Structure 1
């Protein structure tokens, strides 16, 4: 016996990935429906590779009563309107937007890291999915924190344009093509040219000079992993279509050698250690696309601080950073609270 599940935002990058992952992981479904805005009503989307087509309904007119859970990938503005409505009707919302992440009554979940926190969903009937860059980072940090107690993290991200949606991917493609043929590469989605360039600016600037993306990594890591960890981040957009990368520098309370860290990471849930210390013995964004794992490479000791490690972390941001994590939350919710049969 399965669940009655809603996917809202099914026409977007993340929504399509959610459908693909639900099908691929054979999530127990009795009934599924897909929602989007009025302009997409009547369109069809694929239910993964099952060959089944699903017809889009208008979310504004949809009655969520009687549905078990809804995975939202519709942005903060639409979520603000619809999430309370779904939750009040008894349909548990798993939200990919940033709207509820720091709400103290809404659990922020990465199942490999803080599964027990999901029990707090009953306060609002809403569960938040973290920022894409935060999700992969905490998966890599959790086993190290358990072993040696992390005190400080310095992270520089190299984030793909798919994190900015279809418009970001289109802009990278169009600018690259235009540069090759000598046409203009004026930015539209991004603040500067993204093709053959990097932009140290994601989301809006805050008063202290950091960006909102950097702030998210700080506060979300504290909420998910440990409120005592100090985090500083520099988030950079790079000309990669899919896959976020992160260079992590970690300081710990207790000593942990690179060799021991490798052993721990090799056994950690959600982590794939690829660290051969030779040409090509590491993972890049191109290689992580379509994979479920968070890949860790380049694990080494940092001799400039006491109890320091450096490592490289790569993951498909549309999967672990969004769709996969949302489906894993749905699986966890089902196992712990919505058992069928």
Structure 2
């Protein structure tokens, strides 16, 4: 016995990853449908050894379907997620639309699985921002041991976080560097991304922080603990896939770096690669296609009483988006729907 699953936005990067991960993890699927905009209707999408033809989202009836994994923008989600939820289909949404709604749980299964039981207020569950998801996986086991007071994080986020257009822009600009007659001015990003870094993701807010930075603050508080103080600087870097984060953590209690390393080794969803030698750490290239959040460079911060530094790397299309959504579906199946 399995579930009837709808993938909404199946032709996009995240939608395709959702299909791959459902197959890889052998999610109990009884029936699956790929949905996209009308212009993509009929596009063929792979699901394991099967080929799905996308159907028109506008005309689709969600009645009788168990779970819908949404990987479309907030505007389209605003129209179709309530429609699916009203039809009795539980929505797991990857956009930012519902993340800050008090009646919608925001879930990272390794961190706050108990929040799944709040799904029934709106029949919607929110998936966090990609940069938040990997960070809280690392923070939670350390918080349980020593109580985190403050986090200072700088992110190094790949262009795939901006979708296919972001990937294409980096590729085209990189080629144009070697062919000056074929100039590729910025379109997806505010400045040239090839051979450059841009300290600007999403829109600027009145406070001076960008919305991406604000998301990390608010989402960490909602998922882990509202008492944690967070400040973030989010930077786009010329990497195709994989987000990196340099995280500085201040605790209420002392936590030795060796104990922190042991705690993280035992924590769900984490792989520790931390050798103090050339190459003894993880970079984005090594994490692509993997489920784990990798932690390296664990060390004491001698400038404060109870501080640690660490380096955190993850495939943003997986843990930052598609994998986390599928893990939520698995959790929902185990704890609530119980069909699988």
> Normalising to structure 1: TM-score of the pair?
0.99
Matching residue of 2:162: 164
In structure 1, C-alpha distance between the alignment counterparts of 2:6 and 2:233, rounded to whole Å: 35
1:207 is displaced (CA, Å) by 0.3
Matching residue of 2:43: 43
1:313 is displaced (CA, Å) by 0.1
5+ residue gaps in structure 2? none
Q: Deviations over 1:143-189 (max 9, x none)?
A: 11011000000000000000000000000000000001223231011
Matching residue of 2:280: 281
In structure 2, C-alpha distance between the alignment counterparts of 1:197 and 1:180, rounded to whole Å: 15
Matching residue of 1:212: 211
Q: Deviations over 1:234-276 (max 9, x none)?
A: 0000000000000000000000010000000010000000001
Size of the aligned set, in residue pairs, is: 339
Matching residue of 2:195: 196
In structure 2, C-alpha distance between the alignment counterparts of 1:40 and 1:98, rounded to whole Å: 23
Partner of residue 124 from structure 1, selected from 119, 122, 125: 122
> Normalising to structure 2: TM-score of the pair?
0.99
Runs of 4+ residues over 6 Å off in structure 1: none
Q: Deviations over 1:55-109 (max 9, x none)?
A: 1000000000000010000110100000000000000000000000000000000
Q: SS of 1:181's equivalent? A: coil
Matching residue of 1:90: 88
Partner of residue 108 from structure 1, selected from 106, 109, 121: 106
Matching residue of 2:27: 27
Q: Deviations over 1:29-53 (max 9, x none)?
A: 1100010000011111011xx2210
Matching residue of 2:323: 324
1:131 is displaced (CA, Å) by 0.1
Matching residue of 1:6: 6
Partner of residue 62 from structure 1, selected from 60, 73, 98: 60
In structure 1, C-alpha distance between the alignment counterparts of 2:271 and 2:144, rounded to whole Å: 18
Matching residue of 1:294: 293
For the aligned residue pairs, the C-alpha RMSD in angstroms reads 0.6
In structure 1, C-alpha distance between the alignment counterparts of 2:35 and 2:185, rounded to whole Å: 34
